[in-house]
Structure 1
Amino acid sequence: MTELKDMNQQEFEEIAADARNRYEELVQRDLQLDLTRGKPSAEQLSFADELLALPGKGEYRTADGVDVRNYGGLNGIVDIREIYAELLGLDLAQVCAGDSSSLNIAFDIMSWTYTFGNCDSPRPWSQEEKLRWICIVPGYDRHFSITEHFGFEMVTVPMLDNGPDMDAIRELVKDPSVKGLWAVPVFSNPTGVTFSEDVCRELAEMDTAAPDFRIMWDNAYAVHVFDEFPENYNVLEMAKKAGHPNRFWYLTSTSKVTFAGSGVAIFASSSANLEWYASHAGIRGIGPNKVNQLAHARYFGSAEGVREVMRQHASSLAPKFHSVLEILESRLGGLGIASWTSPKGGYFISLDVVDGTASRVVELAKEAGIKLTAAGSTFPLKQDPNDRNLRLAPSMPPLNEVEVAMDGVATCVLLAAVEKLAN
C-alpha cells in the first residue's frame, strides 16, 4: 500500500473523504466507550470469587503457627512470601509482604528517603541541592507523578526493543544528582517491552556517581502473560555480585491477579534495605493485613497456582489484544501514519501516530464518545515533546466494545493524519 504522504492528489482525497464519512457516522452512533486505564474486567475479577470465602472459619494459622488475626508480623506471613519468592526466583529472606498496593510502598520508600535518606545516603534527599530521576519513555504516569510530587527533575530515556537505552542511562548516572530510575521490567507499561538479561545485568553492574542511587523495579506484570511465562531475572543477586547489593527496590503485587483493590503487595530487596524499610514501616504501623495474605496463600496454593490463575486471565485478555492489533493492521497498516507495539503480556499497547496529532486523536475520539488516556500521559509532566504517543488499554470493556472502540480510534488516527498532511 502507498503511504499517505506519497499518494497523489486523487488518492489522498479519496482516503480523506472516506475518513471524514466514517467519522461522521461514528459521531452519530452516540457511543460511550472507555479505553483509558488498565483495569481488570468484571470477568477477570470473578475468577477470584473463591477468595472471598478464604481463609475460612477456624483457618487462621500460618504454616509456622502464627495467628493472623492478631498484631505483628511486619514482614508478612511466610505462606505468601514463599509463593512469591519461588514465583520470582528470589531468596525468601529477601521478600516481605505488605498490604494491597505496591504503588503505596513505592511512595512510602520515596517519602522516607526524601525525609530521612536511605541506608546509603550521606543526607536526606530533601537536603540535596538538586534531585534528578531517570524516566524511561513512554512509561507509567503514576510513577512520574511520584517523582513530580517530590520535586525531582525528570530526565527521559527512550525505550528500545530490549529495554531502555543503556548508553543514555550510563551517561546520566555519572551525575551525582541523578538518584534513581523507574523501571517496569516485564511487559512494560505501555510498550509491553520486556528487559533482556543483558539490560538487567547492565543496570545491576553499572557504576553510579550517587552512592545512594536506587532502581524502583516495579515488576507489576511479572506473570501477566498471553501465552508463555517470561523469565524474571534475579536482579538482586546480579547487583550483589557486582558490589551494589542495595541498588534495587523490587516491587510486585496481586492487584491484577486477584482483586485490584484488595490484594497483597510484595517488596524484595537486600537485607540492609529491608532493615531500613522496617525501621520506618514499624513506626507507620504494626503490621499488614495477615488475614488477607493467608486467604491469598490458600487461594493460590503454590507458585504454579498463581500461574494457573494467570492462564485464566490470558483467556480473557488475549482475544482483546489480538483484536486491537488486527484492527490497527487492517485499518492503518501500510499508510505510514501509525506504528504500535505487539505485546506478549501486560495490559497496554503503545500507539505512535503522526507527530503533532496525538492530542487531536484524543479530541476526535472524545467527540465520538470514545475515552482515551490523555495524550502526553506516558511522559513526565504529561508533556510528550512530539505529541505522538497514545496508550491503549483494552482490558476492561467486553470484546465487542473493544472492537467498536478500536475501529473508531483507527478512524480518528486517520482523520487526524489527513488534517495534518493537508496543511
Structure 2
Amino acid sequence: MSADQLRETQAILRAKYDNLCAAGLKLDLTRGKPAADQLDLSEPMLSMPGEGHHVSADGVDCRNYGGINGLRGIREIFGELLGTGTDRILAENNASLQIMHDLTVFALLTGTPDSERPWSKETGPLKFLCPVPGYDRHFSITEQYGIEMINVPLNPDGPDVDACAALVASDPAIKGMWVVPTYSNPTGTTVSEDVARALVAMPTAAPDFRIYWDNAYAVHTLIDEAPAPLPILDLADEAGNPNRVYVFGSTSKITFAGAGVSFLGSSKANLDWYSQHLSIAKIGPDKLNQLRHEMFLVDADGVRAHMARHRALIAPKFALVLDILEERLSEAKIASWTAPEGGYFISLDVIDGAAARTVQLAKDAGIALTAAGSTFPYKNDPDDRNIRLAPTFPPIDELATAMDGVATCALLAATEKLLERD
C-alpha cells in the first residue's frame, strides 16, 4: 500500500478498534490451561482409590511413608509413553517444573555425577542453550540462578544442531540446554530422530553437559495419533553419553493440572544421584494420588483414549483460531503463524517491531495475551515479532471474539509500524 492507502486503512482499523474497546471485554489468552470441560473428564478420579483400595498392584500400602521412586504401575504407563521404560523413570508429585528446578539447584550445590566440582564453583558464569522461541518457565529457572542463556534457532525439525554443536564444543561453561521434543511450546515443533541423535552425540567441552528433554506434550495430539516417543535414553547410551539426558513429563494437562503426577527419566547414575538428594527433603511422593491415576488411566492405551476425548474438546478451538487468522490476516501479509498438530499453543509472528504494540493494544481492549518477548530468554525478542496464543482455556464463543480482536490489533499495529518506516 502507498502511504495514503495505509492511512485510510489505519482510520478504518482505528474505528474498529475503538468499537472493540467500547465492548468492555475481559478475555484471557495468556496461559495454556485446560478448560473446565477438559478437567471434568477426570472427575471420576475424585472418588478413587476408595475405601479399602489403598494397596497398589505390587503390594504397596499407599497410605504410608516410603517409595521414593513412586509406584511401579504408574511408571509402567508413562515409561511407555515417554520412551524410557519402567526402570529408568521416577514418579513424583504434580510438577515436572519443580523437578527441573531441583535438578538445577542440586547441580549448582553439589555437581552432577559427571561434575568435577559443584556448578556454582566453576569459574565465570554458567551458560545454557535455549532454542527460541521457547517456554518462558524454562527460561525463568536459568535466569533465577544467574545462568547465562544463549539463543539458538529452532528449526522445523528441532534445535539447530550445527549451531549447538559449535557452541558446546569449545565452551566448558555451557552446562545444558532446554528442549521440548514433541509439539514444542509455542511453535508445535517435533524433534526428528536425526536431530536427537546429533544432540546426544555431539562432543561437549563440559563433561557434565545436560539436555533437559521436557516431553510435556508427548500425548497431546490434535491429529489421530501422536508421534512415537524417541528412545532418547537409548540413543544417549549408543552415543556413549548415558548421563546426558533428563526426560520430563507429567499428567498436568492429562488429568488435573494442579493435582497430577510428574516424571523424571534418566540413567541409573542420574536417578540414584537425584533420589539421594530427594530423600533428604521427603520420605516419598503422594502415592494415593499416583494410585488413583493408575486406576483411572489403566495403561498407555487408556491414556491415549483419554487424550482423544481432550482432542474432541480443543481441536475445534485450534481450528477456529486458524480460520480467523487466515480470514483476517492472510491477505494483508503482515503475519505468519503455525498450524500445530499437537500441544497447547499457536505461535504468531507479526511484522518486526510490532509484537509489543499488538499485545498492548489487545490489553487496552480487554484481551490479555502473553507478554511480547516471553518466548525468549530475558523476555527479549530481538525482532519484537513473536506472540504466543493459547486457545484452550476460553469458551469457544469468547475465543472467537478474542481472536477477531487480536487480528484487529495486529493489523492496526502493522499500519502504525509501516507508516513509521514510510
Q: TM-score, normalised by structure 1?
A: 0.97
How many residue pairs get aligned? The number is 417
Structure 2 counterpart of 1:411? 408
Structure 2 counterpart of 1:122? 116
CA shift, 1:90, in A, is: 2.3
CA shift, 1:88, in A, is: 2.3
CA shift, 1:11, in A, is: 3.9
> Of the candidates 20, 23, 27, which is equivalent to residue 26 of structure 1?
20
CA shift, 1:9, in A, is: 4.5
Structure 2 counterpart of 1:140? 135
For 1:313-324, what aligned pairs fall within 5 Å after superposition? 313-324=310-321
Task: Spell out, residue by residue over 1:102-146, the C-alpha distance to the aligned partner (whole angstroms, 9 max, x if none).
Answer: 001111100100000000000000001130110111111110000
2:200 maps to 1:204 = yes
> Of the candidates 349, 353, 365, which is equivalent to residue 350 of structure 2?
353
User: What secondary structure does 1:343 align onto?
Assistant: coil
Structure 1 counterpart of 2:88? 94
Structure 2 counterpart of 1:46? 40
2:132 maps to 1:131 = no
Q: For residues 160 and 332 of structure 2, what CA distance do their matches in structure 1 show?
A: 28
User: What secondary structure does 1:156 align onto?
Assistant: strand
Q: For residues 296 and 99 of structure 1, what CA distance do their matches in structure 2 show?
A: 12
Q: For residues 331 and 393 of structure 1, what CA distance do their matches in structure 2 show?
A: 18
Structure 1 counterpart of 2:181? 185
Task: Spell out, residue by residue over 1:207-228, the C-alpha distance to the aligned partner (whole angstroms, 9 max, x if none).
Answer: 1110000001110000001112
Q: For residues 390 and 85 of structure 2, what CA distance do their matches in structure 1 show?
A: 34
Q: For residues 131 and 90 of structure 1, what CA distance do their matches in structure 2 show?
A: 29
Structure 2 counterpart of 1:217? 213
User: What secondary structure does 2:13 align onto?
Assistant: helix
CA shift, 1:17, in A, is: 2.5
Contact 2:128 2:150 in 1 (8 A): yes
> Of the candidates 46, 50, 55, which is equivalent to residue 56 of structure 1?
50
Q: For residues 287 and 261 of structure 1, what CA distance do their matches in structure 2 show?
A: 19
> Of the candidates 368, 371, 381, which is equivalent to residue 368 of structure 2?
371
AA partner of residue 393 (structure 1): A
CA shift, 1:263, in A, is: 0.3
2:269 maps to 1:272 = yes
For 1:330-345, what aligned pairs fall within 5 Å after superposition? 330-345=327-342
AA partner of residue 409 (structure 1): V
2:337 maps to 1:304 = no
Q: For residues 346 and 154 of structure 2, what CA distance do their matches in structure 1 show?
A: 14
Q: For residues 9 and 359 of structure 1, what CA distance do their matches in structure 2 show?
A: 23
Q: For residues 331 and 159 of structure 2, what CA distance do their matches in structure 1 show?
A: 27
Query: Which moves more between the two structures, 81-90 or 201-210?
Result: 81-90
Q: For residues 3 and 79 of structure 2, what CA distance do their matches in structure 1 show?
A: 61
Q: For residues 175 and 359 of structure 2, what CA distance do their matches in structure 1 show?
A: 34
2:258 maps to 1:248 = no
> Of the candidates 319, 324, 333, which is equivalent to residue 327 of structure 1?
324
AA partner of residue 186 (structure 1): T
Q: For residues 59 and 7 of structure 2, what CA distance do their matches in structure 1 show?
A: 74
Q: For residues 56 and 359 of structure 2, what CA distance do their matches in structure 1 show?
A: 50
Q: For residues 85 and 37 of structure 1, what CA distance do their matches in structure 2 show?
A: 28
Q: For residues 391 and 9 of structure 1, what CA distance do their matches in structure 2 show?
A: 30
- Where does the alignment leave 5 or more consecutive residues of structure 1 unmatched? 1-6
AA partner of residue 135 (structure 2): Y
Q: For residues 13 and 236 of structure 2, what CA distance do their matches in structure 1 show?
A: 52
CA shift, 1:237, in A, is: 0.2
CA shift, 1:63, in A, is: 1.2
CA shift, 1:354, in A, is: 1.2
> Of the candidates 2, 8, 15, which is equivalent to residue 9 of structure 2?
15
Task: Spell out, residue by residue over 1:337-392, the C-alpha distance to the aligned partner (whole angstroms, 9 max, x if none).
Answer: 11111111111111111111111111100111000111111111111111111111
Structure 1 counterpart of 2:105? 111
Task: Spell out, residue by residue over 1:243-274, the C-alpha distance to the aligned partner (whole angstroms, 9 max, x if none).
Answer: 00001010000000000110000111001101
User: What secondary structure does 1:173 align onto?
Assistant: helix
Q: For residues 411 and 81 of structure 2, what CA distance do their matches in structure 1 show?
A: 43
CA shift, 1:200, in A, is: 1.0
2:117 maps to 1:156 = no
User: What secondary structure does 1:195 align onto?
Assistant: coil
Q: For residues 396 and 158 of structure 2, what CA distance do their matches in structure 1 show?
A: 30
User: What secondary structure does 2:410 align onto?
Assistant: helix
CA shift, 1:10, in A, is: 5.2
Q: For residues 4 and 326 of structure 2, what CA distance do their matches in structure 1 show?
A: 23
Q: TM-score, normalised by structure 2?
A: 0.97
AA partner of residue 179 (structure 1): K
2:153 maps to 1:168 = no
